[in-house]
Chain A
Amino acid sequence: MTTKPLKQIHLAAHFPGVNNTTVWSDPAAGSHIDFDSFVHFARTAERAKFDFLFLAEGLRLREQGGRIYDLDVVGRPDTFTVLAALAAVTDRLGLTGTINSTFNEPYEVARQFASLDHLSDGRAAWNVVTSWDAFTGENFRRGGFLPREERYSRAKEFLATAHELFDSWDGGDILADAGSGTFLRDARAGAFAHKGPQFDIEGRFNVPRSPQGRPVVFQAGDSDEGREFAASDADAIFGRYGTLDEGRAFYADVKRRLAKYGRGQDELKILPAATFILGDTDAEAREAAHEVRRLQVSGQTAIKYLEHVWNRDLSGYDPDGPLPDIDPETGENTIALGRASVRQFRDPLETARQWRALAEAKNLSIRELVIATTSGQTFVGSAASVAEQIDTLVQADAADGFILVPHVTPGGLDTFADTVVPLLQERGVFRTDYEGTTLRDHLGLATPRAASGRRAEAS
């Protein structure tokens, strides 16, 4: 019998913030804005030899029932600016940020990523997301102009255009020979021309080729289109599934799509987000996990969450009482704006029916129902148990690694770094030191060549 060689695990850290995982009321919770919090978090991740740090983005404060939603963390810094500053206080850690392809222009975003890659010596990564909502569009010149069905075509064309810009310099363009007075080897460095349904631009890109050639590209969507986009264009995908069977199905499905684009199995990493609770024993961890879930889902939060499905004001209901007997308002969801999660309820009447049945069968209050139906922590246990769970999932091809989402800022990663990482290292499945300098090195991705060459330019 031949045994498969052990897969090396990839680990990353998601900076906590605007989501329903972060417990800001924890006495240990610090600022989500002060740079010190980012420094602490990034240094912990780098001390633990993580592949990268990840920053999410949201371009409008979330609202519910016509008012700014105030129960979760509100506010965040600018993604690019924080990542550039973090490059100064870390040496090897990858720096990944979400940047929207709807409310930006390729020329500007490409030069920001190329700049970040230069300023970090090759550690930049871009989580490409799309959006179409007019709500967010109210903050931008472009407005909410994009029909929903066009969001992936815009994202694909945006990314392709950015790649043309990155590739417009070939890496050997700067000679900088003082003696002969030749700075550029080729007078046409940076020349590009792109004409498509979304963008019609041409000229000269003004950032020379960066250490990674192109930033590492992440994709997060779970729809069929999103998976296809990942298979054709991304270096890594944020999987959604942290359990063995769902994870393996997702993993197999996405990897299967690669061949069609002439890509190898290792050219796309599957990295689900994962929450975790550690304890001295499994029992202690389970107890702590339950407590954290109750902090994440307060009575008020439970009502607000239920409103996402019911699409109406439920503020009169008691979170410790039974589910509403009225039906959800069908049609466009208007109660909660500025968040992606409400779109997962594609059939609210059916969701409400299932939840009522579940609540009745188990005698659950609104709050208990929400705790039961929203995702619990991915990994709960002692350090040894969690190391075992992570390793098992990766070796069984349910994932290539995980993006850990702590619930406390900025120290929520410390215990994991100190206790779980050494156990993974002992197992021989996680690096004991960085072997390369760039994020592509950490993820085992090749550095792309500027294959396409310069395009003919009109001027």
Chain B
Amino acid sequence: MPLSHSAPLHLAVSLDGAGRHPAAWREPGARPAELFTARYWAGLVAEAEAGLLDFVAFEDGLALQSSSPAGHDERTDRVRGRLDAVLTAARVAPLTRRIGLVGAVTATHTEPFHVSKAVATLDHVSRGRAGLQVQVSGLPYEERHFGRRPGPLAEEELYEEAVDHVEVVRRLWDSWEDDAEIRDVATGRFVDRDKLHYIDFEGRHFSVRGPSITPRPPQGQPVVSVRAADSSAYGLIAQSADIGHLVARDTAETRAAATAVRGLRASTGLAERPLHLFGELTVFLDESAAAAAERRGRLDEAAREPYDGDTSVFTGTAGQLADLLQERREAGLSGFLLRPAVIAHDLPAITRALVPELQRRDLFRRQYEADTLRGLLGLGRPANRYAADPLPAA
């Protein structure tokens, strides 16, 4: 996608428990006893929508959180447990009107048929604001929750399987043409079955016949995002995603990652399909840099270890963060996925301090300009791959 340097930034938040910092749940206002209630999530998404953010990403996983990749860590001092992300997104959809709702789904252990209709339905209930954040899992103890395979797939295979998974999900979204439902009383036909399509996907890991049971979602293709913890996910971003989240720690790394992903995108023959690359940052935001650093120190002390995170960590003021986002943007990014270190503190700091700062710099919207997530991201509604006479993409 050609990047105009004056183009506004896209901004989203990733929500998980009480925040990214392990001690976030102990902070004032964190409401740790309410993490498994709808009102907690509804409140957070309302705050994000009041800040005109592009979307909220609901993190998820098919194992209890653990600080160790080897297995359950038996810790009692951290948030454990999560609600299903797509269902949480659906629960808040009727309470919101403009903000995008992106649920994390683990391709490794799920049925693409179920995922496709769930996200299509999220798109129907939100009237075009659904997205899907695809992830893989190679954790042996997570594999044991399913018992489908003797052990996890190798990393390369995990990503190959995820590419197939997204391909099936996407084909199923297109398996109904937009005008397949005809309700023709004269002939008694509810659908024009020539506009329903078998997808006949056959891959190494599964085959799926189709069509979906759910009609094409309002966006046609809901938004697919992929987080790249490292370069192993670049292929999945290149082949399958509308948004790639890069966790690069500085501007040079960001530039290298963006160049690598865009190169892969071009080599897949999808260079024409728009691809957003977002930087991912964990943020501690305060009115002064000293206050932010002090708060981070206090949290680290409570957690009894320094927070390093698995992504860039920003500590400072809204103005400093705006400077950083502008600088990183020059490295080839079109937006940012921010992870509040402490949701109770840093989410309102994003919406009430960072957003106004970016607006002052003409880098962020002053009102929602579209009512679908694709619309907010400047992505057209794609033509249906199966339609005989597709309308040109917007």
For the complex, is A104 an interface residue (Cβ under 8 Å from B)?
Answer: yes
- Using Cβ atoms and an 8 Å threshold, which residues of chain B touch A188? 74
Whether A187 contacts B91 in the complex (CB less than 8 A), given A105-B146, A115-B83, comes out as no
Q: Which residue of A lies closest to B192 (CB)?
A: A70
Residue-wise interface mask of B (5-42) relative to A, using a CB-CB cutoff of 8 A (1 in contact, 0 not): 00000000000000000010111001011011110001
B297 to chain A, nearest CB (A): 16
B236 to chain A, nearest CB (A): 19
Partner of B81 from the list A74, A119, A174 (CB cut-off 8 Å) is: A174
- Using Cβ atoms and an 8 Å threshold, which residues of chain B touch A111? 62, 84
For the complex, is B211 an interface residue (Cβ under 8 Å from A)?
Answer: yes
Interface centre among A81, A169, A459 (most CB of B within 10 A): A81
CB of B33 within 8 A of CB of A75, answer no
Q: Which residue of B lies closest to A107 (CB)?
A: B145
For the complex, is B193 an interface residue (Cβ under 8 Å from A)?
Answer: yes
For the complex, is A234 an interface residue (Cβ under 8 Å from B)?
Answer: no
Partner of A75 from the list B79, B95, B122, B191 (CB cut-off 8 Å) is: B191
Residue-wise interface mask of A (207-250) relative to B, using a CB-CB cutoff of 8 A (1 in contact, 0 not): 11010000000000000000000000000000000000000000
For the complex, is B76 an interface residue (Cβ under 8 Å from A)?
Answer: yes
CB of B25 within 8 A of CB of A71, answer no
Q: Which residue of A lies closest to B72 (CB)?
A: A204
Whether A78 contacts B120 in the complex (CB less than 8 A), given A181-B26, A206-B81, comes out as yes
Q: Pick out which of these stretches binds chain B: A194-202, A266-274, A307-315, A428-436.
A: A194-202
Residue-wise interface mask of B (94-109) relative to A, using a CB-CB cutoff of 8 A (1 in contact, 0 not): 1100000000000001
Work out how many contacts link A and B, with CB atoms closer than 8 A. 231
Q: How large is the interface on B (under 10, 10 to 19, 20 to 34, 35 or more residues)?
A: 35 or more
Q: How far is the CA of A188 from the CA of B209 in the complex (A)?
A: 41
Q: Pick out which of these stretches binds chain B: A58-66, A253-261, A349-357, A389-397.
A: A58-66
- Using Cβ atoms and an 8 Å threshold, which residues of chain B touch A142? 111
CB of B125 within 8 A of CB of A82, answer yes
- Using Cβ atoms and an 8 Å threshold, which residues of chain B touch A208? 36, 81
Partner of A87 from the list B38, B145, B207, B210 (CB cut-off 8 Å) is: B38
Q: Which residue of B lies closest to A18 (CB)?
A: B213
CB of A184 within 8 A of CB of B87, answer no
For the complex, is B385 an interface residue (Cβ under 8 Å from A)?
Answer: no
Q: How large is the interface on A (under 10, 10 to 19, 20 to 34, 35 or more residues)?
A: 35 or more
A84 to chain B, nearest CB (A): 4
Q: How far is the CA of A203 from the CA of B80 in the complex (A)?
A: 14
Q: Which residue of A lies closest to B70 (CB)?
A: A459
- Using Cβ atoms and an 8 Å threshold, which residues of chain A touch B64? 190, 203-206
CB of B193 within 8 A of CB of A459, answer no
CB of A178 within 8 A of CB of B30, answer yes
Q: How far is the CA of A300 from the CA of B190 in the complex (A)?
A: 13
Q: How far is the CA of A432 from the CA of B286 in the complex (A)?
A: 53
Whether A58 contacts B213 in the complex (CB less than 8 A), given A81-B121, A187-B75, A208-B36, comes out as yes
For the complex, is A34 an interface residue (Cβ under 8 Å from B)?
Answer: yes
CB of A88 within 8 A of CB of B74, answer no
For the complex, is A24 an interface residue (Cβ under 8 Å from B)?
Answer: yes
For the complex, is A118 an interface residue (Cβ under 8 Å from B)?
Answer: yes
- Using Cβ atoms and an 8 Å threshold, which residues of chain A touch B210? 139
Q: How far is the CA of A205 from the CA of B142 in the complex (A)?
A: 10
For the complex, is A441 an interface residue (Cβ under 8 Å from B)?
Answer: no
CB of A201 within 8 A of CB of B188, answer no
CB of A78 within 8 A of CB of B121, answer yes
CB of A35 within 8 A of CB of B127, answer yes
Task: Identify which of residues 357-392 in chain B touch chain A, using a CB-to-CB cut-off of 8 Å.
Answer: none
Partner of B79 from the list A35, A138, A139, A183 (CB cut-off 8 Å) is: A183
B198 to chain A, nearest CB (A): 9
For the complex, is A252 an interface residue (Cβ under 8 Å from B)?
Answer: no
CB of A301 within 8 A of CB of B188, answer yes
For the complex, is B343 an interface residue (Cβ under 8 Å from A)?
Answer: no
Q: List 8 A-B contacts (CB under 8 A).
A: A84-B88, A119-B87, A140-B113, A174-B33, A176-B35, A181-B77, A182-B77, A206-B80
Question: Besides A35-B127, A68-B193, A459-B71, 17 other CB < 8 A contacts?
Answer: A25-B188, A61-B213, A70-B191, A84-B88, A88-B95, A104-B114, A111-B84, A112-B84, A115-B88, A139-B210, A181-B23, A183-B80, A184-B76, A190-B81, A201-B144, A204-B72, A206-B65
- Chain A residues close to B by CB (< 8 Å): 24-25, 33-35, 39, 58-61, 67-68, 70-78, 80-82, 84-85, 87-89, 103-105, 107-108, 111-112, 115-116, 118-121, 138-142, 169, 174, 176, 178, 181-190, 199-208, 210, 298, 300-301, 459
